[in-house]
Amino acid sequence: VYDGGTAAADAILMAVAQTRRSKVLISRGLHPQIREVIATYLAGSSIQVEEIPLDPKTGQTCLPEVGADVAAVLVQNPNFLGIIEDGPSLCQKAHSSGALAIVEVSDPVCLALLRSPGEYGADICCGDAQSLGNPVAYGGPYVGFLACTNKLMRRIPGRLVGLTEDAQGRRGFCLTLQAREQHIRREKASSNICSNQALCALATTIYLSLFRPVGLKKAAVSSLQSSAYLKEQVSKLEGFSLPLSGPTYNEFVLRCPQGTAAKLMQYLACEGIQGGYLLEKDYPEMADCVLLCCTELTKKAQIDELISILRNGKEA
């Protein structure tokens, strides 16, 4: 599919069609832009969306009792604030009322360390494969992925390619499990996105074939270790703190001294460093908070430089 946002929206449409229910619960920990895409997709439909709050102390999703009218529960894991969610518990609560559990994974590399959504009961897993060998390219194009249980396979939007044999017994590939609505009754189709994502998908395939499980695990461990080191060092700076206690992978929230967050990020930019994401716009209660991230490309020397600049910038 097109990207992680449209994958999430398509997953919701799959769940609504499968359960024949009209309400969806979406975690506030889902990427704000993905929530906007979903709102656009569902505008004018009868599908009702309710937002699930986050625990202000841990940053994890606080899922209440799921009603019998809920088609699906959608969470991101790790969530937008970098917190690792309690996936098994969330899926179990969704299933207790017959709802489907949808898990969005924005960085699939993390699955080299964390349990996959399918392992802890997710019915649909979707996300963005940009981190798997696709450069950011000024915002796109990206490539989304969507996986589901066998029970939901015929609800998948787009096209599935299957292995077959021709009349001479030679191996071949063809489109399979195609819904005719994709072609002749488009108003009833599960998805009408026909953009060619083959090039991005090919880049992802090459990346995965080169890295393989061992390489992906090394990349994930490197990201985790760098993030843990940055988290430890930055929390020692006077006036800085970690407002959320939930477990993290390679992103975490940092609270800066009051009234300094935006200025510090500008200061970092002047020093040639892309600083954290200012969270107040999307989470008003997180004034003075930024989202920091480390990847497998982050070096210890770079982190030490960042700490030094933050210390000097605060004093300035």
**Same domain (yes/no): 142, 175:** no
**Same domain (yes/no): 154, 175:** no
**Same domain (yes/no): 144, 25:** yes
CA distance 289 to 280: 7
Distances in whole angstroms, Cα of residue 160 to Cα of each of 173, 178, 187? 10, 7, 20
Phi, psi (degrees; rounded to nearest 5) at 199 = -65, -45
Query: Which domain does 259 fall in, by range?
Result: 210-315
**In the prediction, which pLDDT does 199 show?**
82
**In the prediction, which pLDDT does 135 show?**
86
State the total domains in the chain: 3
Other Cβ atoms within 10 Å of 308 Cβ, number: 11
**In the prediction, which pLDDT does 192 show?**
56
**In the prediction, which pLDDT does 191 show?**
63
**What separation, in Å, do the N-terminal and C-terminal C-alpha atoms of the chain show?**
47
**Same domain (yes/no): 180, 152:** no
Distances in whole angstroms, Cα of residue 268 to Cα of each of 120, 166, 304, 306? 40, 60, 13, 8
Among 146, 171, 202, residue at a domain's last position: 202
**Same domain (yes/no): 140, 78:** yes
Rounded to whole angstroms, the maximal C-alpha distance in the chain is: 76
- The CA dihedral of 35, 41, 43, 47, to the nearest 10 degrees, is -80
CATH number at residue 240: 3.90.1150.10
**Same domain (yes/no): 218, 149:** no
**Same domain (yes/no): 8, 154:** yes
**In the prediction, which pLDDT does 296 show?**
93
**Same domain (yes/no): 142, 186:** no
**Same domain (yes/no): 14, 154:** yes
Residues in the chain with pLDDT values less than 50: 316
CATH number at residue 28: 3.40.640.10
**Same domain (yes/no): 229, 105:** no
**Same domain (yes/no): 11, 147:** yes
**In the prediction, which pLDDT does 137 show?**
79
**Same domain (yes/no): 138, 181:** no
